[in-house]
Amino acid sequence: MVAAPATLGAVHARRVPAPATGVPAEAAQAPAPLPVKVTRSPTPTVVLVLGAPLGAWRAVSEVMVVAAAGAIDHRAVVADVSRFFADFDGGAAPSPEQARFDGGVRIEARELEQVHVAMALEGLPQLDSDLYSLHVFTNALGGGMSSRLFQEVREERGLCYAIYAFHWPYADTGLFGLYAGTDTVDAPELMRVVVGEIESTAQTLNEAEVARAKAQMKAGTLMALESSSARAEQLARQVIAYGRPVPVEEIVARVEAVTVESARRAGAALLARSRPALAVIGPGRGLESVATIAESLGRRAA
């Protein structure tokens, strides 16, 4: 994915898989310059999303999208793309293997000021009909200061400095994730409360929480339209995932269609889909107990 204030000149890119195989964009390689130079135009944003890595920038992906937004000339961008990318003749990249989520535990003792805890469960792919219900569940659980995790774990119990949940959909799978930063002494109790809140949210999520989560999602979608880079990135991802740009009205309608019941079902299905994957890094002993508590989430859901 690349974003730069130029047509295609001085563009920096990451070799980022399109939403597929469960590899988050954040884990991609550091930006590397593309070997192209063209004339700049007034404050556009060009986003290049590659459906597969380009070997030395000479292999063509079967899924390659160039999306532009801002003060651009459409015909000029099309001409630039045709000119600078037409000779990519390395052949199509191989199809990725089907994603597989196995769960597991990784604990690393390190002298830090606090313990960092990251937990994941297998989520849903981009085209799953329950995707928006899971997004609403995730937002209600840990999507902001009004979420259950923030209120119960941080505000009420004071067990962490930061806590949030997220969900990333890909072509063939998804990743539900949760992060918390806490003191060593509080880590086991934090995980006990987190496990309880995830299970409770799947059973007792209410109308007010769903309405708040939906409003947050719609606001985020609409506010992102104010950024040219966000618009271009959104367009590129939509074309890769859906084969077309998705109108804002359609996105809002999908969010609005989520109900309390569908969000609860999505949460219950999330818990039953896989055993957790847990990574804990920080000082002190006893971090193994955090993993034991986290894995109880999968056992109770089974």
CATH of the domain at 151: 3.30.830.10
Residue closest to 7 by CA, chosen among 78, 63, 103, 61? 78
3-state secondary structure of 33: strand
Same domain, 133 and 272: yes
The proportion of the chain whose per-residue pLDDT surpasses 70, expressed as a percent, equals 75
Residue range(s) defining the domain that contains residue 234: 104-301
3-state secondary structure of 99: coil
What global pTM score does this model have? 0.79
Same domain, 259 and 206: yes
pLDDT digits (tens, 9 = 90+) for 162-185: 999 999 998 899 999 999 999 999
Same domain, 41 and 123: no
How many structural domains are present in the chain?
2
Same domain, 68 and 109: no
Buried-state track 132-159, b at ≥16 Cβ within 10 A, e below 16 = bbbbbbbbbbbbbeebbbbebbbeeeeb
Same domain, 121 and 41: no
How would residue 1 be classed by pLDDT, with cut points 50, 70 and 90? very low
Mean pLDDT for the stretch of residues 276-294:
90
Radius of gyration of the chain, Cα coordinates, nearest whole angstrom? 21
pLDDT for 6 beyond 70: no
pLDDT digits (tens, 9 = 90+) for 198-223: 999 999 999 999 999 999 999 998 99
Token pair 């009004």 is found at 146
Same domain, 77 and 183: no
Same domain, 200 and 267: yes
Same domain, 142 and 261: yes
**Residue 108's beta-bridge partner residues?**
281
Q: Residue 223 half-sphere exposure, CB side, CA atoms within 13 Å?
A: 6
How would residue 146 be classed by pLDDT, with cut points 50, 70 and 90? very high
Same domain, 66 and 203: no
Domain-ending residue, one of 27, 52, 85: 85
pLDDT, position 91: 61
pLDDT, position 89: 62
What is the C-alpha to C-alpha distance for residues 204 and 186, in angstroms, rounded to an integer? 26
Same domain, 276 and 191: yes
pLDDT for 12 beyond 90: no
Same domain, 81 and 115: no
